[in-house]
Structure formats: structure tokens, C-alpha cells
């Protein structure tokens, strides 16, 4: 438990450090060195267009990240007829709660010390549980993080291609880039800044693939009206059309949340809370 609590603090700091390093590399290294075309107008310059795209992706990723953290698990102890707080927590921990004492799909998290409605999982990179209040923001965070990593990966490969005069036309060139770079770095033929960018390329690739895979898996569960917690516990879910399952998570005004980071707008959970 101590290791999990430590990971719950270190993982968000690690993600924020990676985001800061990515931002600095994009703004101060990739964009100034790659986009130098004086024949284009300033409003249509590749540097401005690429910078606007990167700002859009990173702003949505960080914005939804903040909303996931701020949308804490709901404290359902008062509204679920659970009795005293300490006794309720004990019931959740040992699994001795009565069938009518809680809403379906609720779960007590030992790290958050709270009960989450429609619990999915505990995310260590946000230090928070993912449930009905922040599921849509979490999916948008994964989506835009994967896109920002892909954008940084392409920009970083273009920079390395120009700096080292190499081509990535052969797919094996990227796979053999790291071992060749390590040997050149220790022999003194490669600068430390270039070696750092190469290491970041593989980090962006790993984070991007992980976030994209997690986002796709989460979308499949949402279409089925199921959470990871329900899947892991083998719980039976209520069958309903996939459109209704999507609307419960993304709401009717889903396009607004796709373009800018906002809280759950128009979802059933949000409307019930307002009532």
C-alpha cells in the first residue's frame, strides 16, 4: 500500500515533467529549426500552423488532465444509506455490505478513501479514481495525449533527420536508431542534446501507443455499457443500445467537449446531480 501511495504522487509529477520537456523541445528546438521558409506569408507559415496545432493538442490534453484531477470521486456516503462513515468504509472493505446499501457499480478505493459511482479504475498518472464524473475527460485526455505524442514524434524525427543527415524511409531505420546512437554518443560523434531528443522519440512512441490503446479499449467498454471494474469482477451489466451508452458518458453536446476541455455537459449524470 505504501508503494501504491508513493506511485500515486510520483506518477503525476513524472507526467508533468514529460509535458514540460515536450513543450520546450517543440517551441525552442523543433519549430525554429525545421520551419524556415521566407517565401511564405507569416499567417500561413508552416511554423505558425504547426505551432497552432501543437498548442491545440497540448491545451486539450493538459486541460482535460486538470479536469480529471479536479473532478474527484463523489462522496456517496451520505446519500446511500450507508450509516456511519467508519462503518460504511469497513463494509466496503470487507465486502459485507447489504445488496440495497449502495448504488450499482459503486466501489470504495483505498487510495482515495472515497466511494466512486460507476467506478472504472484508479489512474496513478492523475492520482484520482475514474468514474461517472470524469470518465469523458479521461478519455479526451488519453486521446489528445496520444495525438500530441504523435505530433512530437513526427517533429522530432524530422529534426533528427536534418541534424544527422539520415533518412527514415526504411522502417528499420527507426528501430536501429537507438543502438547506433548509443554507440556514437559514447564514441563522441553524437551531441548530448541530439541523444536526448532520440531518447524522447522512443518515450513519445511508448506513451502515444499506450494512451491510444487505452482509449480504444475504454471506448469498447463504453459501447458495451461496461466498466473495467465490472469486467474484472465479472458483473452483469444492463443491456441497452450503444447510442445510450455513449450519451451517458459524453452527453448530447459531445462535440463541445471534443474541441475544448470542459466538464461533462448534457450527460445524464450531470443532469441528475443538478436535480
Query: Catalytic amino acids?
Result: 123
Q: How many angstroms separate the CA atoms of 81 and 96, rounded?
A: 15
On whether the CB atoms of residues 73 and 109 are closer than 8 A, the answer is yes
Cell of 57: 493538442
How many CA atoms lie less than 13 Å away from 14 in the CB half-sphere?
12
Radius of gyration of the chain (CA): 23
Question: Residue 111, by phi and psi: left (phi above 0), alpha (psi -120 to 50) or beta?
Answer: alpha
Phi, psi of 272 (to 5 degrees): -65, -35
Q: How many angstroms separate the CA atoms of 149 and 39, rounded?
A: 30
DSSP codes, 135-193: HHHHHHHHHHHHHHHHHHHHHHHHHHHHHHT----SHHHHHTHHHHHHHHHHTT-S-HH
On whether the CB atoms of residues 140 and 215 are closer than 8 A, the answer is no
Using alpha carbons, select from 243, 248, 239 the residue that is nearest to residue 266. Answer: 248
- What is the distance between the terminal CA atoms of the chain, rounded to a whole angstrom? 38
Amino acid at each position: 500500500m505504501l508503494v501504491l501511495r508513493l506511485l500515486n504522487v510520483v506518477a503525476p509529477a513524472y507526467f508533468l515533467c514529460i509535458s514540460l520537456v515536450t513543450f520546450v523541445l517543440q517551441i525552442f528546438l523543433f519549430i525554429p529549426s525545421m520551419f524556415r521558409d521566407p517565401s511564405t506569408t507569416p499567417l500561413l507559415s508552416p511554423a505558425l500552423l504547426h505551432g497552432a496545432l501543437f498548442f491545440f493538442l497540448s491545451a486539450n490534453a493538459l486541460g482535460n488532465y486538470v479536469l480529471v484531477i479536479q473532478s474527484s470521486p463523489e462522496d456517496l456516503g451520505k446519500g446511500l444509506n450507508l450509516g456511519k462513515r467508519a462503518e460504511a468504509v469497513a463494509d466496503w472493505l470487507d465486502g459485507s455490505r447489504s445488496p440495497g446499501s449502495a448504488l450499482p457499480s459503486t466501489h470504495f478505493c483505498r487510495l482515495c478513501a472515497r466511494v466512486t459511482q460507476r467506478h472504472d479504475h484508479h489512474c496513478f498518472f492523475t492520482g484520482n479514481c475514474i468514474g461517472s464524473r470524469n470518465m469523458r475527460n479521461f478519455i479526451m485526455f488519453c486521446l489528445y495525449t496520444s495525438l500530441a505524442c504523435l505530433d512530437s514524434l513526427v517533429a522530432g524525427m524530422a529534426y533528427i533527420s536534418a541534424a544527422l543527415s539520415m533518412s527514415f524511409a526504411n522502417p528499420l531505420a527507426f528501430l536501429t536508431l537507438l543502438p547506433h546512437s548509443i554507440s556514437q554518443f559514447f564514441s563522441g560523434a553524437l551531441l548530448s542534446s541530439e541523444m536526448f531528443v532520440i531518447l524522447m522519440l522512443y518515450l513519445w512512441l511508448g506513451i502515444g501507443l499506450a494512451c491510444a490503446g487505452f482509449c480504444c479499449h475504454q471506448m469498447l467498454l463504453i459501447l458495451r455499457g461496461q466498466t473495467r471494474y465490472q469486467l474484472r469482477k465479472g458483473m452483469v451489466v444492463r443491456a441497452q443500445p450503444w447510442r445510450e451508452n455513449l450519451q451517458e458518458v459524453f452527453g448530447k453536446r459531445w462535440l463541445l467537449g471534443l474541441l475544448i476541455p470542459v466538464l461533462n455537459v448534457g450527460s445524464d449524470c450531470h443532469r441528475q446531480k443538478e436535480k
